[in-house]
Amino acid sequence: MKRKTTLAFILLITIYIVVVFQNCSKVGSQLGGSQNISASGVSTYNDPNLLSVDDLTVTKGNLLTLNVTLNQVSTVTQNFQFQTINGTALAGNDYISTTGTLTFLPGEFQKIISVNTMNTNLTGAIQFQIQFGQFDTGLNLRSVTMTLTDPGVTTPISSLSSVSSTGFFHSCLQKNSTAYCWGYNGQGQLGDNTTTDRSTPYLVSGLENGVTSIAAGGNHTCAVQNGAVKCWGHNAYGQLGDSTTISKSVITAVFNLSSSVTSISAGAEFTCAIQNGAVYCWGYNGYGQLGNATATDSAAPVAVTNLNSGVTQIVAGNSHVCAIQNGALYCWGYNNSGQLGIGNTLNQSVPQLISGMESGVTSVAVGMEHTCAVQNSTVKCWGGNSYGELGDGTTTNHITPVAISINDAQNVYTSIYSTCSLSISGVLNCWGYNGYGELGVGGTYGYTLTPKLVSNSGFTNIGNSLGYHMCGIQNTNIFCWGYNYYGQLGNNTNNTSNIPTQVLF
């Protein structure tokens, strides 16, 4: 990843805002405008995007948390002041006046500040500002406007009904019954009838309505539309399921799955779906990942052995698969690092019930060579652990499930060598490999062995990933982070990001 040299007296600062409360929505426009500011002892600042910040609507009586992040890691100690400024909202009546100084030591890039809003009666919307700068030298970098409203007037998170999924180098989103894709398109996996990469979302032609599920595979994509499965992209192993091995850059119907499909998951070179509670898979089968007791590829869906009813979740990884059936967890396919969790490293061509996971399992995710699941709100992981992706504080592989220090989880997600968990309240933690910033915690250091906080609130979904980037839904908006060479972060750049960056529609 490229990194620009930081000059001692030039600082570009970006403030990203995460609001810690339930029910919020962005209502304003980005604060832009060129500045050319001089002050005693401070070099001239001339940058049209010194701060990129959205105005926010905040429900009264909640804690507002601001993540303040430098665009470049500081090489010297830098001090930046912040202060709240009255508007129509008054300190002591509507919010608690807050001032302070953020000190970034050499090598640091992120700080957090908090502001309490007060739960008083309110008619209409009122506003106050938070200013950031070096006020002792007369430098005010930018002001951020906060709009206070009473509970019940904000847009509910569920209104967008969005689900994301990421492949090797592309990303897709099911949003309001439509399908969008962006990033690498060398195999036509964006579905736009070209092989041209895109750094912003593309509305997939033919999927403008009726979409209920989407899955980005290695270099192919599949979606469920009105109960039928449609796939496009790379098809060398029959992973599009249309009974051919011819790649397609437009959507194509999957053979014999034209109705009653509720969920789809795409692996590296194969795909699986749930139809009427039963699992079907197709594509590459060299490690038994199709689950039909063979190692023969199939260009059309085949029924997975013993999973003919009661399946609520299916997740296809690089070369192995896991499914939840009536609260019990089954896995099959490649098992070189113990990622099937069955106490050995032998590949399996039919589903295997994981010992100790016979009930209470509500979420599962599979990475390159590891697996994690949520059982009774506790996260358990097993398999390869070279980069700490199991989150147990070691780099030791485990061939059976190991509980980690998260016991309030609702869902779990994986990328190639990392893992994230999401709590019921929207708290997002990630751990494992971070060479491209895919943990979203800032920095691109090698890896972390235990969970690290990404966000205190607002996330409702994170897409499972086959690559070195991830995407998630926060407060009705989609954010992506990590590797971005092909524009897979969707922010109209090719710059890798180690913190969540908003996708531009």
147: pLDDT strictly greater than 50: yes
Looking at residue 123, what is its pLDDT? Answer: 53
Catalogue all structural domains in the chain, each as residue range(s) with its CATH number: 13-155 (2.60.40.2030), 158-502 (2.130.10.30)
Contact 326, 303 (CB under 8 A): no
Alpha-carbon gap, residue 45 to 32, rounded angstroms: 14
134: pLDDT strictly greater than 70: no
pLDDT tens track for 384-428? 999 999 999 999 999 999 999 998 898 999 999 999 999 887 889
Radius of gyration over every alpha carbon of the chain, rounded to an integer in angstroms: 24
Average pLDDT over residues 249-270: 96
Contact 478, 458 (CB under 8 A): no
Contact 418, 438 (CB under 8 A): yes
H and E: helices and strands count for the chain: 0, 39
Beta strands in 290-356 (DSSP E): 298-303, 311-316, 320-325, 328-333, 348-353
pLDDT band at 152 (very low <50, low <70, confident <90, very high): very low
Looking at residue 138, what is its pLDDT? Answer: 61
Greater model confidence, 36 or 127: 127
Alpha-carbon gap, residue 361 to 378, rounded angstroms: 9
pLDDT band at 442 (very low <50, low <70, confident <90, very high): confident
What are the backbone dihedrals phi and psi of residue 215, each rounded to the nearest 5 degrees, phi first? -145, 125
HSE of 160 in the Cβ direction (CA atoms, 13 Å)?
A: 22
Using DSSP's 3-state secondary structure scheme, residue 157 falls into helix
Using DSSP's 3-state secondary structure scheme, residue 120 falls into coil
pLDDT tens track for 42-81? 323 333 333 344 445 666 666 666 656 555 555 777 777 7
pLDDT tens track for 287-339? 999 999 999 999 999 999 999 999 999 999 999 999 999 999 999 999 999 99
* Amino acid letter for position 442: G
